Structure 1
């Protein structure tokens, strides 16, 4: 799979986004590899799953702007459709998922983490919906959960101002459940996953399904987000914002 690794140990699967040289940015190939890794983990019948990013700089900075800067509306639509498939697979994964967040977790990377059941962040993590910095919008299915976690106005502020939260602020807002030293985040997340794997398997899956039903987004919601995302790729402002980002 190249840019994504799947490892299984003692019933715990670990999916690692492996593009540290690009801060684990998600280009189309990586999204495809991530979708395949999640499907393989499901087929392997793991008892719990950890999602993490390679290297010491980032969980994932989200969409690969280098790929998207010149994308057409149709190409942008295809890209976000693939991203929604991945977040949908995470949200609907049959067993609990744990995001192990170290470093930057921004934009689409943050939406991946939001679609996990549990989130563990290192003390140096930086999290946020930074899409408006690129003149686009969150469209991967994370906003609905964000609203439920922090409330409507706080969610709007986080998105409208593209705020980057340090780990302590994210913890105080209940966006992450555990805050640990940066050199402990992987071990801590895997410890949680191992504890989950020790739970009665059938009951744990049923409990996960109960929460999935409660949090489920209507397909129309995702279709609306996808349409907005695609339309923005027809604007000069979006193109200029992405090129300014690449210049920085």
Structure 2
């Protein structure tokens, strides 16, 4: 992979989009490398993923306008499909994914961040969907995820006006979970990832599935999703060990490698 690097430490994988000269802009090659990077994660070892951008200016500045400028209708639709396929893979990845947004998160960058479970931002981060200023709509899920994250009214305001917002405003409207000084962002992301990784992996994965699968369902159907995943935790090592140690006040002894039982 030329444009995405992977580092694994203490059960946490850090994926870095590495195209700093182009502010980590997304083109088909970057998207394919991102997909390969996620597919290459050893889910028996890794328990949480951090996604960030190389350099100190940009998470992902957007889709590569140079590569889009000459696309036909069919090519544009195919590019949108590729981006959506990759971002849906990120969104539905079994492990929690934290976006460490270290600068520009515009267009496809904001869309990629929204496909992650949790978004942490540096104080110099900038968010937005500026596509209408270029004569196009958001193409990688921006019109859909933004409305789900910040509400329909705020999403329409940001998308229709192509307004970019600072990290403090992104925090206020609920687009990000927390804001840190630039030199503290990755430490904060690693600390949160480590806390997630220390918990029972089957339970964490099932919580992600329950939230993702149930959020758009009527509550009566959504709780049935939860019931099924709640039940699936029983008779696993993590459940037996966790509850027995709670009762005996001992520290749980997690398995070294993830298994389904």
Normalising by structure 2, what TM-score? Answer: 0.80
Q: Secondary structure at the match of 2:141?
A: coil
Q: Which position in structure 2 is the counterpart of 1:203?
A: 203
Q: Which position in structure 1 is the counterpart of 2:3?
A: 3
Alignment pair present for 1:93 and 2:93: yes
Alignment pair present for 1:41 and 2:47: no
Contact 1:27 1:63 in 2 (8 A): yes
**C-alpha distance in 2 between matches for 1:216 and 1:5:** 34
Q: Which position in structure 1 is the counterpart of 2:248?
A: none
Contact 1:42 1:93 in 2 (8 A): no
Q: Which position in structure 1 is the counterpart of 2:80?
A: 80
Q: Which position in structure 2 is the counterpart of 1:224?
A: none
**C-alpha distance in 1 between matches for 2:99 and 2:146:** 15
**C-alpha distance in 1 between matches for 2:82 and 2:213:** 22
- Shift of the alpha carbon at 1:74? 2.0
Alignment pair present for 1:181 and 2:154: no
Which structure carries more relative contact order (alpha carbon 8 Å, separation 6+)? 1
Alignment pair present for 1:23 and 2:23: yes
The Cα offsets for residues 80-130 of structure 1, whole Å up to 9 and x where unpaired, read as: 111011110111010111000011110001000001010000111100111
**C-alpha distance in 2 between matches for 1:179 and 1:188:** 10
- Shift of the alpha carbon at 1:158? 0.6
Q: CA RMSD in A?
A: 1.5
**C-alpha distance in 2 between matches for 1:20 and 1:77:** 26
The Cα offsets for residues 155-197 of structure 1, whole Å up to 9 and x where unpaired, read as: 1001000110001100111110011001111111111111110
**C-alpha distance in 2 between matches for 1:145 and 1:63:** 17
Following superposition, which runs of at least 4 residues in structure 1 exceed 6 angstroms of deviation?
A: none
- Shift of the alpha carbon at 1:73? 1.7
**C-alpha distance in 1 between matches for 2:78 and 2:46:** 30
Q: Which position in structure 2 is the counterpart of 1:103?
A: 103
The structure whose Rg is larger is 2
Q: Paired residues, what number?
A: 217
Contact 1:5 1:18 in 2 (8 A): yes
Normalising by structure 1, what TM-score? Answer: 0.84
Contact 1:35 1:85 in 2 (8 A): no
Q: Which position in structure 2 is the counterpart of 1:166?
A: 166
- Shift of the alpha carbon at 1:44? 5.7
**C-alpha distance in 2 between matches for 1:42 and 1:141:** 27
**C-alpha distance in 1 between matches for 2:24 and 2:33:** 13
- Shift of the alpha carbon at 1:216? 6.2
**C-alpha distance in 2 between matches for 1:95 and 1:42:** 11
Q: After the TM superposition, which of the residue ranges 141-150 and 91-100 deviates more from structure 2?
A: 141-150
- Shift of the alpha carbon at 1:141? 2.1
The Cα offsets for residues 14-50 of structure 1, whole Å up to 9 and x where unpaired, read as: 1110000000001111111011101112656520000
Q: Secondary structure at the match of 1:140?
A: coil
